[in-house]
Each structure stands twice: as C-alpha cells, then as structure tokens.
Amino acid sequence: MSDEDITLTAGDAEVTVQPGNGGRVGGLRIGGVELLRQGERFGCFPMVPWCGRIRDGRFLDGAEVRQMPLNAPPHAIHGTARDGAWRTARTSTDEAVLTYDLGDPWPHPGRVTQVVALTGDALTLTMSVETYESSFPAQIGWHPWFNRNLGGEDVTLDFDPAWQEERGDDHLPTGNRLDPKPGPWDDCFGMPGGVEATLTWPGQLELKVSSREEWVVVYDEQEEAVCVEPQTGPPNGLNTMPRLVTPLEPLEATTTWSWRRL
C-alpha cells in the first residue's frame, strides 16, 4: 500500500496518520479542535530504535561499539524511524497498521510495527520491534507535541513521578535520582507503577496519557507546546539500561490518550 496520509475517524475525533513522514500522527482533532502542534517535525512521532539522546552517538552492542549519526551534536537523538517512510500494512475507518524496516545506519535488520487505533474518546498507539536474526538492544517511545493553548487558557500538566533523573550539562541523566523539581523541564522521570499524566485545558478538555512503561520525558521549554513522552527506558538507555530484542522476544509498548470535555 502507499505511504499517503491516512485519516481515521470515530465519533467527533479525527486522526491523521503520516506513513511517509516518519510514521507520525500528524494531527488529532476533537470536535474540530487540533490538539497537536502542526508542522513537518511535530505532531507525534515514534522514537525507535532508541529514545532521546545517545551519548556521543555511541552504544555498546555485545562486544562492539556502534556509532550513530550525530543529528543533535554531540549526540544522536530520537532514533532513525522518524526520518524514514513507513509502509501502510492495512487500514480501516478507525485503525491503521504501519511497518518500518530497520536498516542503515542501524546495524541490525528488524521490523517495527505500529498500530494506531481510535475510538470516540481515546487514541491507542502500540509499537513493537522484532528480529529474526541477531539480537540487539532497542527502545520504543512516542514524542507528542500537545498545543499549549487551544484558544482559551494554557494547558496545565499534572503527574506524580517517584523520582526525576538528574540531568547533566550534556542533557543526559547522570545516574542520580532526585525528588521531582518544578519545571520548566527537559527531563526524564520514573513512574514505576506506569506512566499517568493529565493535561488540562481549563474549561475545554482533559486528556490523560497512560502507559505501562515506567519512564516519561517531559519537555515544556518551548512556548507553543508541551511534550509528554512515554518510553521503555531513559535517555542514553541503550548504554545504561539496554533491553534486548531477540528472535523469541520482541520489544513491545503501548500508550493510550483518553479525553473528556470539560
């Protein structure tokens, strides 16, 4: 199937999926109101096969040190799949299934599958990484850019992490865990019971971001948007907390955004 944009609908919710632009969700409209920041780099893009920054673009893969392109010098950031064209495997009125084949500069062949499923009051994103050859470390995450303002008051964010990863001058976790500090943030937080974060546009909409994963990065330093990014490990996690994808055990993750009008 082609990599043209796909529109999903359910009730008064509408989602644009963009296989040709990194497999991202390009828009989420509820009652005609766009929740995601618009633009080629925004919406909500998948972070795979790693999330956030890799220190100096290098990670240990078994006994080998692998070098990724430094697309955020001096580091490599947000994986490779957001820069590629995904393939549409199948679609219906309220669901799309996309695939992406890992390749150069990533050193291992593998298949990424993303399912985008819409209901009248929720959007669920599910992603998996599979290999039928050698095992390799990987991460999965999503990077949504929620509009700070929908035409009324600015959004507020409520979440209760167990800790905040101390961020070094290089924007990477130092390994120390801190009591959560007030924002603004470009920081990783731990939520061992699973990610739960609520964005509220007063008098308009409440949206809950949830995931069984225990890591979330919050980025709210830009005026236009607030990013709440559930992921399977912290930044630089290919080095500090690697999770292996094997022929018998794929890596899988899910996030659900559910909403209600206020």
The CB-based long-range contact list for 17-21 (8 Å cut-off, 24+ gap) reads 17/96, 17/98, 17/116, 18/43, 19/85, 19/86, 19/87, 19/88, 19/98, 20/85, 20/86, 21/85
> Which domains can be identified in the chain, with CATH numbers?
6-261 (2.70.98.10)
Tell me how far apart the alpha carbons of residues 118 and 121 are, in angstroms, rounded to a whole number. 8
Tell me how far apart the alpha carbons of residues 137 and 50 are, in angstroms, rounded to a whole number. 9
- Partner residues linked to 216 by β-bridges: 189, 230
Q: Are the CB atoms for 231 and 215 separated by under 8 Å?
A: yes
pLDDT tens, residue by residue, 138-173: 999 999 999 999 999 999 999 999 999 999 999 999
Tell me how far apart the alpha carbons of residues 119 and 213 are, in angstroms, rounded to a whole number. 22
pLDDT tens, residue by residue, 170-180: 999 999 999 99
pLDDT tens, residue by residue, 102-118: 999 999 999 999 999 99
CA-CA-CA-CA torsion sign (41, 18, 185, 151)? positive
DSSP 176-194: EEE----SS-EEEEE-TT-
Predicted local confidence at residue 1, as pLDDT: 57
pLDDT tens, residue by residue, 185-229: 999 999 999 999 999 999 999 999 999 999 999 999 999 999 999
CA-CA-CA-CA torsion sign (115, 241, 110, 21)? positive
